[in-house]
Amino acid sequence: MKHGGIVAAAIEVLADIETNHRPASAALTAWAVSHRFAGSGDRSAIGNLVFDALRNRASIAWRMGADTPRALAIGAYAQCWGVGIDRLDVAFAADRHSPEPLTDAEKIALRTGSLDDAPDWVKGDYPEWLDPAFAAAFDGQAAEEGAALAIRAPVDLRTNTLKSTRDKVMKDLSRFEPAETPLSPIGIRLQPGTGPGRSPNVQSEAAFRKGRFEVQDEGSQLAAYLTGAAPGQQVADVCAGAGGKTLALAALTGNKGQIYAWDGDRHRLAGIHERLQRAGARNVQVREAGKSDALADLAGKMDVVLVDAPCTGTGTWRRRPDAKWRVSEKALEDRTADQDAVLALAAPLVKPGGRLVYVTCSVLPQENDARVAAFVAAEPAFAPLEPAVFVAATLLPDETKARLADPALATRHGLQLTPLRTGTDGFYVSVLERR
């Protein structure tokens, strides 16, 4: 497909998302099913344009003076793919599947649209109702932090040290031009595609099938390190989901000691068994999902309890931009209630002197420091550690420890990683010691 057709298809998909309140991935699949002539390259180009439009929705709408699917797709094509008006006109003229030619008003908007007078939520491309939360979290940098959450994310991989080394995996994947991640000593970064270009799909690689690496954002890798888990320890992962952090913990503990993986939802936990096997993780016991008495025998015995809490996922907007415009005040309220519930469930498992580690992939203070503050008010036996203290107690290299101990990353009760600050997804980590 030529670019005119790609823009037209993106307009259709954006309209479907808006009209039918569908997730972007479902709308893209529906489009592909009804347009079987489109090849996989076309489908990923259309997907890229749709996701770029959603990542940058507020700023495109401001510049274009309209929030319609057409304005968003054309604006994303010009703003994110760097196509000037002349080339845009040529691209549209060269393809009979193009949308209607640009109007004079669109041409003026594309030429002169500016964000100079735009409010922070437009410059930062986040929902207006979250402005107070962003202002509180980022003290004068809300627009910049939001804008960094609106850029395509790289593909980050975690070397599975139970089976390989970073150097070997980088050789396995040399055709993707891998680079070492700056902070995680076992992370590998592949750059995302630009414009219509595909991002690397590494899950069909032999090295993946052999369990030598996992796809995992560098921030998530760091969160696993920040638990301080070490070989020989007893660790409970009570929101294990499909096991992303469980696998990282198994590698960190070198298969020595015991990890107990559990989740409130049996469907989410179901995927963990196959992943554990592929990764060669042998020190993980998966406890029966849903039933919290499945953890009763662990009470007071754990060195580390990880609560990788359910959250709004605001820190992952680079990867899931449609979620950004769907998140609601009600969803935020529901998640904070879940977070309080799961902290209360996890706390009794920690042994005296042990650590409760609270993690979210959110940047909203309501889900982060506020939850920790509410928890310690109810459970005075737990005290949040200073980031410099819990960072020092990890197996991270000294340069990473120095970077993560930077006071600029510290919040009242923990540590906040963001795309702007650390080049990772947005992750919050608080470590509480049981006195």
Ligand X SMILES: C[S@@+](CC[C@H](N)C(=O)[O-])C[C@H]1O[C@@H](n2cnc3c(N)ncnc32)[C@H](O)[C@@H]1O
- Residues carrying an active site annotation: 361
Burial class (CB in 10 A: 0-12, 13-18, 19+), 277: exposed
By beta carbon distance, the residue nearest ligand X is: 244
Q: Which of 158, 189, 245, 319 binds ligand X (CB under 6 A)?
A: 245
Rounded distance, CA 389 to CA 375, Å?
20
Pull the structure tokens for residue 431: 């470590």
Three-state secondary-structure class, residue 334: helix
The candidate with the shortest Cα–Cα distance to 166, out of 397, 410, 427, is 397
φ, ψ of residue 240 in degrees (nearest 5): -70, -25
Q: Which of 102, 230, 242, 410 binds ligand X (CB under 6 A)?
A: 242
95 assigned ligand-binding residue: no
Residues 133-192 that bind ligand X (CB under 6 A): none
Minimal distance in Å, beta carbon 268 to ligand X?
A: 4
Q: Are 248 and 215 in contact (CB under 8 A)?
A: no
Say how many residues touch ligand X, by CB under 6 A.
17
**319 touches ligand X by CB under 6 A:** no
Minimal distance in Å, beta carbon 313 to ligand X?
A: 8
120 assigned ligand-binding residue: no
**384 touches ligand X by CB under 6 A:** no
Contacts 24+ apart (CB under 8 A), 273-279: 275/214, 275/242, 275/243, 275/247, 276/243, 276/246, 276/247, 276/250, 278/209, 278/210, 278/211, 279/160, 279/162, 279/163, 279/211, 279/214, 279/247, 279/250, 279/251
Nearer to ligand X (CB atom), residue 245 or residue 318? 245
**426 touches ligand X by CB under 6 A:** no
Minimal distance in Å, beta carbon 361 to ligand X?
A: 6
Minimal distance in Å, beta carbon 360 to ligand X?
A: 7
Q: Which of 4, 228, 241, 419 binds ligand X (CB under 6 A)?
A: 241
Binding region for ligand X (CB under 6 A): 238-242, 244-245, 263-265, 268, 308, 310, 338, 341-342, 345
Indicate the annotated binding residues for S-adenosyl-L-methionine: 263, 308
